[in-house]
Amino acid sequence: MLTHDQLFSLEQYARQRPEFRAKVMAHKKNRQVPVGPNATLYFEDKLTMQYQVQEMLRLERMFEPELIQDELDVYNPLIPDGSNWKATFMVEFSDENERKAQLARLIGIEKAIYVQVTDFARVTPVANEDLDRATEEKTSAVHFLRFELTPEMCQAVKNGAAIRAGIDHPHYQAEITLAPAVRDSLAADLA
């Protein structure tokens, strides 16, 4: 969990931002998983959430403790707690008309995503715990996911087991084996 005392003040952040941003961008490279040509999982952690909070505080010029706590309350649930991975999932089509058509075809895609540690069973996510992001007409382009792992899966990942991520939806199928650097970054999320 991220706390107020772990954040930079607005003045500190103004001075630290270039170096901190570069550190976060390098870190994020090992936490992005493209699943096919039009979907990406962005795995979150304490550092990525600190960056989000710092940027929000900077943009909104927030320094009141109550408002800072409100931001922490929004972003802390996206930090893994040792037995799971949390990810922002994005369906990405650059053409607006194609995106609208695809989001109508891809209803339920957030429940068709999975991660699989070596030969263990696939883990499908708990999706959008904050609010439902789909309607009967279309799904959202952005979903928030939590993948709960068993202790055996966590241990296997920490021991270097392969991880696959995929989507098994009637209108979108794809699977990828995570690169070792990505696997190692996700292993750091596990207790």
The DSSP 8-state label assigned to residue 123 in this structure reads B
Q: How many residues does the chain have?
A: 191
Mean pLDDT of 113-138: 86
Strand partners, 176: 165
Q: What is the pLDDT of residues 155-168, one digit of tens each?
A: 999 999 999 999 99
Is residue 72 pLDDT above 70, yes or no? yes
Q: Residue 127's CB: how many other CB atoms inside 10 A?
A: 18
What sign has the CA pseudo-torsion 178, 103, 48, 6? negative
Q: What is the pLDDT of residues 24-70, one digit of tens each?
A: 999 999 999 999 999 999 999 999 999 999 999 999 998 899 999 99
Mean pLDDT of 144-149: 97
Q: Residue 67's CB: how many other CB atoms inside 10 A?
A: 14
State the average pLDDT for the chain. Answer: 94
From residue 157, how far is each of 124, 152, 188 by CA, in Å?
17, 9, 9
In this prediction, residue 128 has a pLDDT band, given cuts at 50, 70 and 90, of confident
